[in-house]
Amino acid sequence: MSTQTASHTISVLVANKPGVLVRVALVFARRGYNIDSLVVSTQQDSDFSRMTITSSGDPGTLDQIIKQLFKLVDVVRAIDHTGDQVIEKELALVKVKCPPENRTQVLEIVEHFKGVTVDFGAESLILQISGGSDKIDHVLGLLSSYGVVEMVRSGKILMARGASTT
């Protein structure tokens, strides 16, 4: 019997208090789940923060993690959005080696994917790419042949479509 591993995106609404992030991360760690991406930001009401967590593992274990999250005092809501109708976005800053002879090709790639050049140096460019994780992965694959010097990704954020609550 094989264990199925899937990627999950969980939205957790928490009280904006010190130590909440550690307690949430420990729930994942105790169950052997690695957190692949974590974004935390305050909400309209600064008493609350939203955590968007991307993690991979067994769906049954994830159910247990969500039940454990609800037991934490500062957790208001925890929802697995896997398979839901959501808008997902990520942001990446990518520094690429770019001597003048390669500049046109690199800029064409960036323009095609609606990216932005945020820094223009003599031998490198810093590019901003936003969109779904697959789009960013694809752009990084194309840019790798030019030499990615450094890259920073924001992690996935999401919002439920329509009247559904995130």
Per-residue pLDDT tens digits for 52-82 = 999 988 888 888 999 999 999 999 999 999 8
Q: Per-domain residue ranges for the chain? A: 6-80, 87-158
69-76: long-range pairs with CB below 8 Å, 24+? 69/12, 69/24, 69/27, 72/14, 72/20, 72/23, 72/24, 72/27, 73/15, 74/14, 74/15, 74/17, 74/20, 74/23, 75/12, 75/13, 75/14, 75/20, 75/24, 76/13, 76/14, 76/15, 76/48
Q: Which fold has domain 87-158?
A: Alpha-Beta Plaits (3.30.70)
Superfamily holding 6-80: ACT domain (3.30.70.260)
Angle (CA) 135-92-115 rounded to 5° is 65
pLDDT of residue 33: 87
Does 87-158 match 6-80 at the fold level?
Answer: yes
82-115 pLDDT, tens digit each: 888 999 999 999 999 999 999 999 999 999 999 9
Q: pTM for the whole thing?
A: 0.82
CB atoms within 10 A of CB 138: 15
Q: Is the pLDDT of residue 1 over 70?
A: no
